[in-house]
Structure 1
Amino acid sequence: MERENKKMIDSYLSFRLGDEIFALHVGKVQKILEMRDVTEVPRAPDYMKGVINLRGKVLPVIDLRIKFGMQPAGWTKTTCILVVEAEVENEMVVVGLLVDAVQAVQKVKQDEILPPPSIGSKFRSDFISGMTRVNEKFFMVLNIDLVISSDDLINIKEIQDAKEAFEKES
């Protein structure tokens, strides 16, 4: 499906980090993976948990709790990895996002998304494209393109380059 067609979809995947509920546009989510072993990468930022092998490709995994300044938590049977596509500096990257649990896919019309709060939020509001209410619960709708920054892109490229160099030497 082309990017323009994906934007027309009014569905959002909700997920939990601690007591907070977030949502991502389904057009950005490629798949949901059960938790698996993550290979740590030396000298990576704290929120970069490491990499996993996804069909022969290296997939960097970011812990959203740490990225958002929340306390790290142990993995449970509901912990999973969202494989998402983000556009950073006109380049498409695929990364894994470590989340506490996936909730559901919700239909949300664009006019039901309210502007993000300007003060009092413990999260950087530039990540949040809006807030919406579903079944009496507020969801923070994330702009994944802004969650994944250009610094992350540099780290992801370094990880991929290191793996490719290692494979050539083997």
Structure 2
Amino acid sequence: MTGLPTESQFVTFSLGEEVFAVPVAVVREILDHEEPFKIPHGPDYLLGLRDVRGQGVPVIDLRLRLGMTRTVKTPHTRILVMDVPLNDRSLAVGVVADKVFEVIPFRHADIEQAPDIGIRWRSDYIHGVVRREIGFVVIIDLARLFSGDETALVIPTSAVA
């Protein structure tokens, strides 16, 4: 036995009919949807700021960020507040999900590389996919999703006091 874990825990959620997952370790909390404070001149997927325990957290519409249609709020809509590890810092961000399902373990051996063909969103944001009885679960590579030109989402906590 090597001592390395053979599986990891993920939070699963839906965007439309698609099921996605992020590592449970990055999810700080799951909140009911509330309209965030609007930020002028932000990208269309940046919905605004939300106060989370005294910290201004940018809220994004992940559907728009992935090239899907805008989220339509329902009683099941939630915001996953995450601490995304980037190169030299941690980015606090709220991600809007149509519905949050459960925390589930995935065996590392069951995580497949994302196919380059037949995906409706840019596959460089996909860490991998897991086959389920009905369809797939797409594991999002959060560091890639929030790096590069998305540094505009980084708001110093001192600026929102």
TM-score (ref. length: structure 2): 0.89
Q: Shift in Å at residue 9 of structure 1?
A: 6.0
Partner of 1:58: 56
RMSD of equivalent CA atoms: 1.8
Q: Shift in Å at residue 8 of structure 1?
A: 7.6
Q: In 1, distance between residues paired with 2:98 and 2:88? A: 29
C-alpha contact (below 8 Å) 2:6/2:108 kept by paired residues: no
Which blocks of at least 5 consecutive residues in structure 1 are unaligned?
1-6
Partner of 1:102: 100
Q: In 2, distance between residues paired with 1:149 and 1:12? A: 21
* Alignment-mate amino acid for residue 96 of structure 1: G
Query: Equivalent of 1:90, from 85, 88, 91?
Result: 88
How many residues align? The count is 157
The 3 A distance-change label for structure 1 pair 145 and 108 is same
C-alpha contact (below 8 Å) 1:34/1:81 kept by paired residues: yes
Query: Equivalent of 2:37, from 36, 39, 46?
Result: 39
Partner of 2:15: 17
Q: In 1, distance between residues paired with 2:17 and 2:118? A: 16
The 3 A distance-change label for structure 1 pair 87 and 8 is farther
Alignment of 1:57-76 (within 5 A): 57-76=55-74
Which blocks of at least 5 consecutive residues in structure 2 are unaligned?
none
